[in-house]
């Protein structure tokens, strides 16, 4: 179920509101993968910061897709 919600949000570039480590967090999901221990993770920008973070599926609760809120991915440009 989490994968379906995150996949939909990634395709439509929707922000997501989640509870992560029991803190309300806004996430701009970029892609789903597995970490080096084989656990499922989602990579994305958290709370409008400028860095991409890895979020573990096991610690995610209450996923809500914010349909009114879209984002553009950050693409770093090297000089």
pTM for the whole thing? 0.82
Q: What's the Cα-to-Cα distance from 5 to each of 27, 36, 54, 75, rounded to whole Å?
A: 13, 23, 17, 24
How far apart CA 54 and CA 45 sit, in angstroms, is: 9
Q: What percentage of the chain's residues is helix, strand, coil (to nearest 5)? A: 20, 55, 30
Domain containing residue 44: CATH number:
2.30.30
Position 77 confidence tier, pLDDT thresholds 50, 70, 90: low
Is 20 a domain residue?
yes
Q: In the predicted model, what is the mean pLDDT of residues 2-21?
A: 93
Beta bridge partners of 78: none
Q: How many domains does the chain have?
A: 1
Is 78 a domain residue?
no
Is 75 a domain residue?
no
Domain membership of residue 33 as a residue range: 2-70
Q: What is the mean pLDDT of the chain?
A: 89
DSSP 25-57: EEEEEEEEEE-TTS-EEEEEEETT-SSEEEEEG
Is 76 a domain residue?
no
């Amino acid at each position: 179920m989490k994968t379906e919600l995150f996949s939909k949000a990634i395709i439509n570039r929707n922000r997501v509101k989640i509870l992560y480590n029991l803190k309300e967090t806004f996430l701009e999901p970029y892609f789903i993968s597995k970490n080096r221990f084989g656990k499922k993770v989602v990579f994305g920008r958290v709370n409008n910061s400028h860095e991409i973070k890895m979020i573990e599926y096991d610690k995610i609760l209450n996923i809500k897709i914010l349909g009114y809120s879209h984002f553009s991915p950050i693409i770093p440009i090297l000089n």
